[in-house]
């Protein structure tokens, strides 16, 4: 049961001055039972993977403590297992017949008859007489067995057992002395101890899925922004208190140890983090789901700020090894590139043979993803590229041995680095190689799994669904066609009918430049067979459109998967996705409507029924319950239940208490304490001292013009100018920025420099003091977000309306009681609906006004305040006037595509409302409580349930506990 603390004893300190010198002592609270008090249960049945864990779980559920077991597996595939059990509570054996029947029934449901054809296992409790080996129960009372140990059940989770796991890993995994290990080693050993427990759950879940063979969903994503795993796993497995205590007694703080973990940053931003939240929800909801992706050796670059400029440092996150993954050398598939295609007549049928020019192997690395309050742990399978085994003798024989080795090594570069551009698309061959690499390996893996149980391909769509996370994995479409036709020998029609029933596509942006498109010549060279399939597919698709009555040439050419301009052909992945997918979705209501009118308009014309909305969500576990433990306790105490951690709709009643002064006081105290933690982070990362008395105003996300960090910094300058002009009545504020700029994104980098330069001036101006501080927090990532978000009072989501598909940090901030200043864009629209517009500081042009305002911007006259801000920048008040010139020019002279000047006045006015509200503690706290209470909709559990129901048609598959 959750929350049940296992009994424990501990490792004693021999000498307090040497906290690392430890000696085990026997468990205190396990009374040594006389064997006569035990019941002997014998199980005879067919051996199968997971049987033992299922049996031990069943014992646990029945309240029976297995004190000893003897396990035997025979060559004929049968097991003869004997368990000696006692009641957990009073230690007595099974007393009544009905108790025994219960146990018998439960265990029998898990056992199949042994292969020899004998009847199913018979189970009887004491005091049945000991029987022969036919599988009946033997009375243990007459057995004189003094010493016994528990073997082959789940690893125990009492504090002592945990300590032993940790110390064992120090010695046997890390090969360090158990008497001396540092924080880093403590982390690694702890992680391994958790991993052992995860693997049990993960193995059993996979076995269960295999046995049940449900319809499964596979999430295909180039990015996963997992962040740290340790605390999340401990909370999800309900092991946090015992691990905390175990470590404490060993002399280590859980938080300190957890801090040593490197973020797994295999993603750029929102899209990758969404994939990670989805995995958490899929596991928690018991869905038979797996994630597939790439095991990059270098994740998202680490950002440092030197003299106000962004520097990119490589993130070689695997330096100290990664305890969370399981390398599976035996799970590997060939992935091929280049070469040519030959067509042969085979039995009157044309068969295509791709003679590839290069082959690499995709090797699986499995990452267990535990669900919360469920025994299920699902899998994130990431692929790494390795050279093919076996030597290319020809190359080696030509004499250039070293060159031949280097050539082989090239394979590994495929998965070496994550592309750090989140939106701008560059047609780099390596990226297409990556996309093909992971989708091909994933499809081969799924097909292998399918074929283990099935031979009828018609069943494939009933067993396998694939979600395409943006256009990145869309090359999976022709790859599945190829695998079915060239690999499995299916015809075109049948293959296409399968393909169109298994894929669905999520669009994450309306920016046309982010929709991937490839130079056909490049694809032809890299994947010649796929390009053939795409040509064929496109021709058939356009013919089908004509048959369906679409004859408009313009429409047909816009639908075409391949376009041609000035003799150059381009392959449009979004078109391919739309034509093959049974469902297409946007990620917030406004976004799903917009794509129908803009980037996917033509597909909406021809396939209106394919379009859906699935508003994004975030996992309230990582993003509220775990990163904000004090607020978790307060919420639970206030509404009298922690059910909201599993079902966020249960948080709604919190709203009824928003005016309660006692709750408000506690609410404020928690925010205060989280602000202090954030202030400490600011000091550590920037050397800037900020006062927790000021309003903490935060703008963290990727730096992008459409996200309008420029609007914020111009607002900061206006505030500074007002203070300088003598307006000292302003609300003291700390304004923090954070986020990475794509390395080649010049404007974004200039914005970072401008923030730093403004901070330099403002923070050192004695006229300003604590009235205003401006901070650029370097290296924003998942784990810093876990500190920043709980400590924030106001967060900014101020993209030009219609440009942010959804946003997900808006949800995280609101959950943590941060108020939002924002435009009616992305999911902020729905957040405002849920928590009430008057509890959100909304401003700016609406999405449907934006196109007109953009068209009219040549005639727009900015306000005098806006002009004063630009003058300050241009005149060099913050230095670097030349470097900042493009930042001024981009919002003047009729350019200002993102309407910074247009929205400026309205933004300042909203900020003035913020100041006024903040001055009234009660109003502010009330709004803050209502923000948290209003977030029920924004759990990724809700989002994933909708995908499961409306798109994938998959249902939960929970393994028995």
Q: Which residues are catalytic?
A: 508, 701-702, 707, 808, 812
Applying CB under 6 A, among 189, 194, 274, 694 the residue interacting with ligand NBG is 274
> Is residue 786 a contact residue for ligand NBG (CB under 6 A)?
no
DSSP state of 516: -
Minimum CB–partner distance for residue 470 and ligand NBG (Å): 6
Give the Cα separation of 47 and 45 in Å (integer).
6
Which tokens in the block code for residue 373?
A: 């309050």
Nearest Cα to 742, choosing from 268, 117, 65, 61? 268
* Residue whose CB is less far from ligand NBG, 510 or 694: 510
Cis before 458? omega within 30:
no
CA angle 274, 275, 276 (to 5 degrees): 90
Phi-psi region of 617 (alpha: psi -120 to 50; beta: other; left: phi over 0): beta
Site string for ligand NBG, 514-553 (x = CB under 6 A): x---------------------------------------
Judged by CB under 6 A, the stretch of 321-329, 387-395, 747-755, 804-812 that binds ligand NBG is 804-812
- Strands of 388-519, DSSP E: 464-469, 503-506, 517-519
* Residue whose CB is less far from ligand NBG, 289 or 498: 289
Applying CB under 6 A, among 27, 826, 862, 934 the residue interacting with ligand NBG is 826
Applying CB under 6 A, among 807, 817, 822, 844 the residue interacting with ligand NBG is 807
Applying CB under 6 A, among 587, 594, 831, 850 the residue interacting with ligand NBG is 587
Give the Cα separation of 54 and 204 in Å (integer).
8
Cβ-proximal residues to 961 (8 Å cutoff; 6+ apart), any chain: 57, 60, 61, 375
- Measured distance between the N- and C-terminal CA atoms of the chain, rounded to whole angstroms: 10
Minimum CB–partner distance for residue 807 and ligand NBG (Å): 5
Give the Cα separation of 549 and 445 in Å (integer).
39
The footprint of ligand NBG on this chain (CB under 6 A) covers a number of residues equal to 18
CA angle 156, 158, 162 (to 5 degrees): 75
> Is residue 271 a contact residue for ligand NBG (CB under 6 A)?
yes
- Contact by Cβ (8 Å): 260, 231: no
Judged by CB under 6 A, the stretch of 94-102, 239-247, 372-380, 800-808 that binds ligand NBG is 800-808
> Is residue 619 a contact residue for ligand NBG (CB under 6 A)?
no
Nearest Cα to 220, choosing from 477, 457, 510, 481? 477
* Residue whose CB is less far from ligand NBG, 559 or 587: 587
* Residue whose CB is less far from ligand NBG, 679 or 751: 751
* Residue whose CB is less far from ligand NBG, 495 or 712: 712
Question: Which H helix or E strand runs over 866?
Answer: helix 864-874
Radius of gyration, alpha carbons of the chain? 31
* Residue whose CB is less far from ligand NBG, 249 or 422: 422
Applying CB under 6 A, among 504, 800, 808, 940 the residue interacting with ligand NBG is 808
Applying CB under 6 A, among 249, 366, 804, 903 the residue interacting with ligand NBG is 804
Minimum CB–partner distance for residue 68 and ligand NBG (Å): 52
- Contact by Cβ (8 Å): 783, 228: yes
> Is residue 445 a contact residue for ligand NBG (CB under 6 A)?
no
Give the Cα separation of 145 and 127 in Å (integer).
17
Give the Cα separation of 402 and 408 in Å (integer).
10
Applying CB under 6 A, among 467, 616, 784, 931 the residue interacting with ligand NBG is 616
Judged by CB under 6 A, the stretch of 264-272, 309-317, 497-505, 924-932 that binds ligand NBG is 264-272
Beta bridge partners of 842: 822
Applying CB under 6 A, among 509, 638, 664, 712 the residue interacting with ligand NBG is 509
Give the Cα separation of 509 and 734 in Å (integer).
31
DSSP state of 339: -
Judged by CB under 6 A, the stretch of 105-113, 403-411, 662-670, 805-813 that binds ligand NBG is 805-813
Applying CB under 6 A, among 806, 818, 823, 839 the residue interacting with ligand NBG is 806
Class of residue 390 by CB neighbours under 10 A (exposed 0-12, middle 13-18, buried 19+): exposed
Minimum CB–partner distance for residue 23 and ligand NBG (Å): 52
* Residue whose CB is less far from ligand NBG, 12 or 428: 428
Nearest Cα to 365, choosing from 450, 273, 291, 432? 291
Beta bridge partners of 382: 293, 365
- Contact by Cβ (8 Å): 714, 904: yes
Judged by CB under 6 A, the stretch of 108-116, 265-273, 302-310, 349-357 that binds ligand NBG is 265-273
* Residue whose CB is less far from ligand NBG, 471 or 495: 471
Give the Cα separation of 781 and 788 in Å (integer).
10
> Is residue 508 a contact residue for ligand NBG (CB under 6 A)?
yes
> Is residue 45 a contact residue for ligand NBG (CB under 6 A)?
no
Rounded (10°) angle between helices 51-61 and 97-108: 150
Nearest Cα to 772, choosing from 883, 886, 881, 695? 695
DSSP state of 43: E
Nearest Cα to 450, choosing from 461, 466, 435? 461
* Residue whose CB is less far from ligand NBG, 78 or 816: 816
* Residue whose CB is less far from ligand NBG, 470 or 896: 470
Judged by CB under 6 A, the stretch of 42-50, 263-271, 400-408, 713-721 that binds ligand NBG is 263-271
Contact set for ligand NBG, span 468-497 (CB under 6 A):
470
In 643-672, which positions are buried (b, 16+ CB within 10 angstroms) versus exposed (e)? ebbbebebbbebbeebeeeebbebbbebbe
Q: Phi, psi at residue 688, to the nearest 5°?
A: -95, 130
Judged by CB under 6 A, the stretch of 321-329, 718-726, 806-814, 830-838 that binds ligand NBG is 806-814
3-state SS, residue 42: strand
> Is residue 805 a contact residue for ligand NBG (CB under 6 A)?
yes
Minimum CB–partner distance for residue 840 and ligand NBG (Å): 17
> Is residue 288 a contact residue for ligand NBG (CB under 6 A)?
no
Q: Phi, psi at residue 157, to the nearest 5°?
A: -115, 20
Judged by CB under 6 A, the stretch of 36-44, 308-316, 506-514, 900-908 that binds ligand NBG is 506-514
* Residue whose CB is less far from ligand NBG, 266 or 805: 805
Beta bridge partners of 367: 380
Give the Cα separation of 218 and 467 in Å (integer).
6
* Residue whose CB is less far from ligand NBG, 495 or 799: 799
Residue 344 CA: distances (Å) to CA of 72, 141, 347, 494, 617:
55, 75, 10, 20, 50
Give the Cα separation of 52 and 63 in Å (integer).
17
Site string for ligand NBG, 213-252 (x = CB under 6 A): ----------------------------------------
> Is residue 270 a contact residue for ligand NBG (CB under 6 A)?
yes
* Residue whose CB is less far from ligand NBG, 158 or 422: 422
Minimum CB–partner distance for residue 956 and ligand NBG (Å): 24
Site string for ligand NBG, 368-407 (x = CB under 6 A): ----------------------------------------
Judged by CB under 6 A, the stretch of 20-28, 314-322, 735-743, 801-809 that binds ligand NBG is 801-809
Contact set for ligand NBG, span 417-436 (CB under 6 A):
422-423
- Contact by Cβ (8 Å): 113, 45: yes
Residue nearest to ligand NBG (CB): 270
Q: Which residues bind ligand NBG (CB under 6 A)?
A: 269-271, 274, 422-423, 470, 508-509, 514, 587, 616, 804-808, 826
């Amino acid at each position: 049961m959750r929350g049940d603390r296992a009994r424990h004893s501990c490792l004693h300190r021999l000498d307090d001055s040497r906290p690392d010198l430890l000696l085990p002592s026997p468990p205190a609270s396990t009374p040594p039972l006389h064997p006569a008090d035990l019941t002997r249960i014998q199980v005879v049945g067919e051996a199968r993977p997971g049987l033992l864990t299922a049996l031990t779980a069943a014992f646990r559920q029945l309240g029976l403590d297995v004190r000893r077991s003897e396990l035997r597996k025979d060559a004929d595939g049968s097991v003869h297992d004997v368990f000696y059990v006692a009641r957990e509570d009073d230690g007595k054996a099974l007393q009544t017949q009905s108790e025994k029947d219960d146990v018998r029934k439960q265990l029998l449901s898990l056992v199949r008859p042994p292969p020899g054809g004998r009847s199913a296992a018979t189970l009887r409790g004491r005091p049945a007489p000991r029987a022969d080996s036919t599988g009946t129960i033997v009375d243990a009372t007459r057995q004189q067995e003094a010493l016994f140990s528990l073997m082959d059940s789940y690893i125990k989770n009492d504090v002592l057992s945990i300590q032993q796991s940790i110390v064992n890993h120090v010695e046997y995994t890390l090969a360090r002395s158990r008497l001396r290990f540092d924080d880093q080693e403590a982390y690694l050993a702890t992680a391994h101890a958790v991993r052992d427990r995860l693997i049990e759950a993960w193995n059993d879940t996979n076995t269960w899925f295999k046995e049940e063979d449900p319809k499964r969903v596979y999430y295909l994503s180039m990015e996963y922004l997992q962040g740290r795993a340790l605390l999340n796993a401990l909370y999800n497995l309900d092991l946090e208190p015992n691990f905390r205590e175990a470590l404490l007694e060993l002399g280590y703080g859980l938080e300190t140890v957890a801090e040593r973990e490197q973020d797994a940053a295999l993603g750029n931003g929102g899209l990758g983090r969404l994939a990670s939240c989805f995995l958490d929800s899929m596991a928690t909801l018991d869905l038979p789901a797996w994630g597939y992706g790439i095991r990059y050796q270098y994740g998202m670059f680490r950002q440092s700020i030197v003299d106000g400029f962004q520097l990119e440092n490589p993130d070689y996150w695997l330096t100290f090894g990664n305890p969370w993954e399981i390398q599976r050398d035996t799970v590997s598939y060939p992935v091929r590139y280049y070469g040519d295609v030959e067509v042969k007549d085979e039995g009157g049928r044309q068969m295509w043979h791709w003679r590839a020019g290069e082959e690499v192997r995709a090797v699986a690395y499995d990452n267990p993803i535990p669900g919360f309050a469920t025994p299920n742990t699902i899998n994130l399978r990431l692929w790494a590229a390795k050279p093919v085994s076996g030597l290319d003798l020809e190359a080696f024989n030509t004499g250039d041995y070293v060159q031949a080795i280097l050539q082989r090594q090239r394979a590994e570069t495929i998965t070496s680095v994550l592309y750090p551009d989140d939106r701008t698309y560059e047609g780099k061959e390596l990226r297409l190689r990556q996309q093909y690499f992971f989708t091909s390996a994933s499809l081969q893996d799924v097909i292998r799994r399918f074929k283990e149980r099935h031979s009828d391909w018609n069943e494939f769509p009933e067993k396998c669904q694939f979600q395409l996370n943006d256009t990145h994995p869309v090359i999976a479409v022709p790859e599945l066609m190829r695998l079915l036709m060239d690999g499995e020998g299916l015809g075109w029609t049948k293959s296409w009918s399968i393909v169109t029933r298994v894929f669905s596509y999520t669009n994450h942006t309306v920016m046309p430049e982010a929709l991937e498109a490839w130079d056909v010549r490049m694809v032809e060279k890299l994947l010649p067979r796929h390009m053939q399939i795409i040509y064929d597919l496109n021709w058939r698709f356009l013919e089908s459109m004509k048959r369906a009555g679409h004859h408009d040439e313009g429409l047909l050419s816009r639908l075409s998967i391949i376009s041609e301009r000035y003799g150059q052909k381009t392959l449009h992945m979004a078109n391919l996705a739309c034509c093959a997918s049974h469902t297409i979705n946007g990620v917030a209501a406004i976004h799903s409507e917009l794509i129908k009118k803009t980037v996917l308009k033509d597909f909406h014309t021809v396939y209106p029924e394919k379009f859906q909305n699935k508003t994004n969500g975030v996992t309230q576990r990582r993003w509220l319950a775990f990163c904000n433990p004090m607020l978790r306790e307060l919420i639970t105490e206030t509404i009298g239940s922690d059910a909201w951690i599993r079902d966020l709709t249960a948080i709604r009643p919190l709203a009824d208490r928003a005016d309660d002064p006692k709750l408000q006081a506690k609410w404020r105290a928690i925010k205060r304490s989280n602000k202090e933690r954030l202030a400490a982070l600011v000091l550590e990362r920037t050397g800037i001292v900020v006062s927790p008395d000021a309003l903490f105003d935060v703008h963290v996300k990727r730096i992008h013009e459409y996200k309008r960090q420029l609007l914020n910094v111009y607002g900061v300058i206006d505030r500074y100018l007002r203070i300088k002009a003598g307006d000292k009545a302003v609300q003291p504020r700390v304004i923090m920025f954070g986020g990475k700029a794509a390395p080649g994104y010049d404007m974004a980098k200039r914005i970072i420099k401008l923030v730093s330069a403004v901070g330099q001036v403002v923070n050192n101006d004695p006229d300003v003091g604590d009235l205003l501080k401006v901070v650029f927090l370097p290296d924003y990532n998942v784990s810093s977000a876990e500190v920043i978000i709980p400590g924030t009072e106001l967060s900014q989501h101020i993209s030009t309306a219609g440009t942010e598909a959804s946003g997900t940090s808006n949800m995280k901030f609101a959950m943590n009681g941060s108020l939002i200043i924002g435009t009616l864009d992305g999911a902020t629209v729905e957040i405002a609906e849920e928590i009430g517009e008057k509890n959100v500081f909304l401003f700016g042009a609406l999405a449907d006004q934006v196109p007109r305002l953009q068209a009219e911007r040549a005639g727009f006259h900015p306000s005098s305040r806006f002009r004063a801000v630009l003058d300050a920048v241009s005149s060099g008040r913050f230095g670097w006037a030349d470097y900042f010139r493009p930042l001024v020019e981009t919002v003047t002279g009729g350019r200002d595509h993102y309407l910074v000047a247009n929205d400026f006045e309205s933004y300042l006015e909203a900020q003035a409302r913020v100041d006024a509200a903040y001055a009234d503690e009660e109003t502010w706290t009330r709004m803050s409580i209502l923000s948290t209470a209003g977030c029920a909709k924004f759990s990724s559990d809700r989002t994933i349930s909708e995908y499961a129901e409306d798109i994938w048609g998959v249902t939960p598959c929970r393994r028995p506990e």
